[in-house]
Amino acid sequence: MTIIRVSVYTYAALILRGLDGLTMEENIATAFASLTSMPLKNVRVVRDRLTGASSGFAFVELHSLKESQDLLQYLERLPTPLEVDGKALIMNYAKNTFTTAYVLVIFTLEMLQNTVVSAGLGSLQLIMNVVLMI
């Protein structure tokens, strides 16, 4: 049985996709400052742990849900998409990461269970017990 819980609630953070690998937080803040006087609470570029390069997306947190709604609506009405470092960005509300992680864990465990059973390797619980002992 697959249990999927996806949040339908919006948050005071936006996710930006399509960033260049060299984009820095300051570049995003500057791009937003050139369009609006709305203050940003936090900007975080998600980076590759080994290289430090941008993973292609970032989170922009505002001070309230109302501000994030207003900003996203404003950006959607622009004649051309917001660009940072020469890349047009795709923007949406950020989702609850706990819920997203929960869905991925359940889905991954089910796929692993199906693989283990179809390969005749025994039960997933036995394999997980062995992995946990290592």
Average pLDDT, the chain: 76
pLDDT of 38-48, one tens digit each? Answer: 899 999 999 98
% of the chain beyond a pLDDT of 90 = 37
Predicted structure pTM score: 0.63
Q: Where in the chain is the domain with CATH 3.30.70.330?
A: 13-95
Q: Indicate whether 7 pLDDT > 80.
A: no
CA angle 35, 37, 40 (to 5 degrees): 95
Fold exhibited by the domain 13-95: Alpha-Beta Plaits (3.30.70)
Query: Residue 95 — very low, low, confident or very high, per pLDDT cuts 50/70/90?
Result: confident
